[in-house]
A and B are shown apart, each in its own frame.
Chain A
Amino acid sequence: MPADDPIRKLALAALDADAQARALLSPEGARARVSFSDLYRYANDPGFVLAPELGARLAVDDAAQADLAHLLANGAFAHIPRQAAAASGAVERRETEKAVLVLTPSRAGAGEVYLSIELRDASARPPSQLFARKTGEAWQRLALPVFSDAQTQVLLDADAALARALADPETEVYLR
């Protein structure tokens, strides 16, 4: 279904209307929710940016995080689950049948790390976003650069939440 499909827009609007109706009934609880249509666009549109206040709400809203998890699981290019319980130390490489993710520290100076993603199926339509979540924390999102020869690469601050999450074996990752 294309992104601008009118039926999908109508369905999202109906979900938002339902949420607003519930908000009117219990305003103090609903004020903290991020609308489903915003979550949907956040999960599917790399160009969509949540307003700062909504981003802050999303980070602390367990229900919205769970909704987002369901959205991410639906139609993901690849899911990389948490590492085995025996895993210890920082993760440098994650593999699935669809992709390989590698973290390589930059030599240009401390505090930067390359994230390289290589797709196993060179003819597959490449993903455009990466989502990562450490157990008990909020989802981190990264818009991916264009793939070239089934590979792409980004440079991250090693202290950034996403880089720390990707190095943690207790983090699951979706490519969409």
Chain B
Amino acid sequence: MSDAAVHVLTTEGPSRIQRIIEEAPSVRSVICLDGLTQILPVSPAYDAFVRRPAGVIERMSGHGAYRMDVSARIDEGQSWQLAAYIGHAAQLQGGTDVTVFATGEVDSHLAVRPVEHVDVKLAALARFLDTQDIDAEKAIIVVPDGGPETPARICGIAVQRVAGVAEALAFAGLDAPAEVGPIANDDGAAAKPARRRIPLFTVLGGAALLAAALFWAGGDFVRWSAMMGQGRVLDVETSLAEAGQDTFGHVRAAMFRTWLGLSRPASPVDIVGSLVVAREASACGDAARLDVRAVTSAFAAPGEICMAEFRAVGGVDDVVVGRLGYWPAGLGNGPRPARVMRGSGDVQGRKWTLEFKDLPQAGAAMRLVVIAGGVDISGPQPWYQDLLAAPLNSPVYEAARIRLARLGFTVTSLDWRRE
């Protein structure tokens, strides 16, 4: 932590941010209590606050996983966000010895939104300050603008009402982040950057400009390649979109996409499947009374389907992942599949086994989506929503497929339904 002392205002009194540590990108960000291993329940919300594409901390710092230790419990809610943001900014910039007490919710546009119980939090802060020896000239209390009236000072410390984090940082003697990444849409996806035409002078530039572009491309290529190697495909996509906002970045992103396209698997993915069927539902638990049939696009025979098993096999060097979605009332009929199976990897590819709790009736459907590429994909994978629900070859499905193709992956899908 820097010299700044940043506190989260709570109704029980201020909770000091004791330290902020970068963790391995593969773990989720956590808030721990007083240096102990106790992870507070608010941690998933902190992780979402940190990590791209929706999180604002990674946009500021470039890192996506932290451990933050606080001196006292922080319960559910979002009002810790403003103090957390200031804490991260102070950590990055260092130098300032200000004491900050803050409450407020921070949205993806870095606006500060009003929160509840500010009066109770300030009363608890006043009781706390009565027991402390804090230099009021080097301290600041920051609350959201737009809420109920607040006193101008508490124990001699000025109360500042702010509408955005930039104001809050300025009051704390900190600079606003030099570069802010793309603002997320409401659905969490990064805003699509406007496509820019490459100016003529770039095309006509001399060897020096070309060399400079290649120099810069090299740095980004290393970063994007490292992220891709970790399976952070959505992060790569977001970073490419961000880079595409300026001219050289657009060229670098296009070059990297071309390279990804060249690394796309050439071997087709083979999918085989089988259904375990029985004459009646009660026989599903009796191995002696089961029959196994190959999966075809539709099943119209009498009897009950107890279990389905699919196996996908890709090229020798390809990593095969995917999802099996079960739609009891028909493909796309409902907000999401009733069940989604991730499958398990094996030396021959990947296998999905679905034991039906509710046996498929007429109209039930399964969609298997198989993604093949050079790496195992980790982190959020929003494309599955469309790939599992939209009709094959529909514009929505194709958009999701092309999105992955531009990142070096192939998509193969299989539909099944019960007549």
A residues touching B (Cβ–Cβ < 8 Å)?
Answer: 95-97, 102, 104-108, 112, 114, 116, 119-124, 145-146, 148, 151, 153-157
Contacts and interface: CB of A to CB of B under 8 A. Distances in A.
Given A107-B24, A123-B340, A148 B37 contact: no
Contact of B23 (A107, A123, A151): A107
Interface string B350-371: 0101000000000000000000
B175 interface: no
A119 B342 CA distance: 8
Given A104-B24, A116-B27, A155 B32 contact: yes
Q: Which of A95, A102, A108, A154 has the most CB of B within 10 A?
A: A108
Contacts of A148: 44
A167 to B, nearest CB: 16
B143 interface: no
Contact of B30 (A96, A102, A122, A155): A155
B30 A153 contact: yes
Interface in B11-40: 19, 21-24, 26-28, 30, 32, 37-39
Contacts of B55: none
A155 B24 contact: no
B338 A120 contact: no
Given A104-B24, A107-B24, 15 more contacts: A95-B344, A106-B27, A107-B21, A108-B69, A112-B37, A114-B24, A116-B27, A120-B341, A120-B344, A121-B341, A123-B337, A146-B41, A154-B39, A155-B37, A157-B37
Contacts of B67: 106-108
B387 to A, nearest CB: 14
B44 A121 contact: no
A46 B172 CA distance: 44
Majority SS at the chain A contact face: strand
10 contacts: A97-B351, A97-B353, A114-B24, A119-B342, A120-B344, A121-B342, A153-B28, A153-B39, A155-B38, A157-B37
A116 B39 contact: no
B344 to A, nearest CB: 4
A102 to B, nearest CB: 7
A23 B27 CA distance: 49
Interface in B322-353: 337-345, 351, 353
A114 B41 contact: no
Contacts of B339: 121, 123-124
B48 to A, nearest CB: 9
Nearest to A96: B344
A-B pairs, top 10 by smallest CB distance, nearest first, are A120-B342, A155-B37, A108-B21, A148-B44, A97-B344, A114-B27, A123-B339, A122-B340, A108-B67, A104-B27
B39 A145 contact: yes
A104 B26 contact: yes
A95 B346 CA distance: 11
A91 to B, nearest CB: 16
A121 B344 CA distance: 10
Given A97-B353, A121-B339, A106 B344 contact: no
B37 A156 contact: yes
A88 to B, nearest CB: 20
A153 B26 CA distance: 11
Contacts of B337: 123
B255 to A, nearest CB: 33
A121 B340 CA distance: 6
A151 B28 contact: yes
Contacts of B341: 120-121
Nearest to A121: B341
A151 B38 CA distance: 17
Given A107-B24, A153-B30, A120 B37 contact: no
Contacts of B26: 102, 104, 116
A122 B41 CA distance: 20
Contact of B28 (A108, A116, A119, A124): A116
Given A120-B342, A146-B41, A108 B23 contact: yes
A168 B24 CA distance: 22
